[in-house]
Amino acid sequence: MDDIPKIGITGMPNVGKTDTLLKIIKSLEEHGYTVQGMLTEPIIEKKKRVGFYVTNWQTKEREVFAHLDYDMKEKVGKYGVDIGALERIGVPAIENAIVDENVNIIVIDEIGKMEMLSEKFCMMVIEALDSDKPIMVTLHKKSRTPLLQDVRRRDDIRILEVTPVNRNLLPYKIEKIMEEKLPPLF
């Protein structure tokens, strides 16, 4: 069981966790692996981040998950958070990645403060980590929520930090770790 690659990518906000993950996903897909799960991507307007989309990696279906203009009950920092968007797009994307036999690698971007407002999301993250599939997740660096603490304490996940210094090389390093341990495709 411990030879199934499980990688956590952490780092400060805006350092490039999602970009690092996207580079690895694209390369693994070019090598023939099927990657499925969810991504949270920034919404940029006039060079400023104003919110986030939650995207199903396989179907490319996406919804606005958090926005500066959202007047929601749930808030993280200055963002109003639509938990419903996460539960309509992200949670089923992760669930599908776990159960679909054609999926080689699960991705979850990101396990952060906004996402952890959803109990369904938290349960699905644990289910994905407990599955027998390779997984890559991005983790909020500073948050001390119970789920993040649990993920960091697991001995079956290797956590690597993206920094401005290593962000260009880290995708290759993680890709090598994944490819060394992934079962051959044929």
Per-residue pLDDT in tens (0 to 9) along the chain, 186 residues: 458 999 999 999 889 999 999 999 999 999 999 999 999 999 999 999 999 999 999 999 999 999 999 999 999 999 999 999 999 999 999 999 999 999 999 999 999 999 999 999 999 999 999 999 999 999 988 878 888 889 999 999 999 999 999 999 999 999 998 888 887 776
Q: What is the CATH number of the domain that holds 120?
A: 3.40.50.300
Q: Would residue 18 count as lying in a domain? A: yes
Count of domains in the chain?
1
- In this prediction the pTM is 0.93
Taking alpha carbons only, the member of 112, 177, 179 closest to residue 151 is 112
Which domain covers residue 108, as residue numbers?
6-181
Answer yes or no: are the C-beta atoms of 86 and 54 closer than 8 Å.
yes
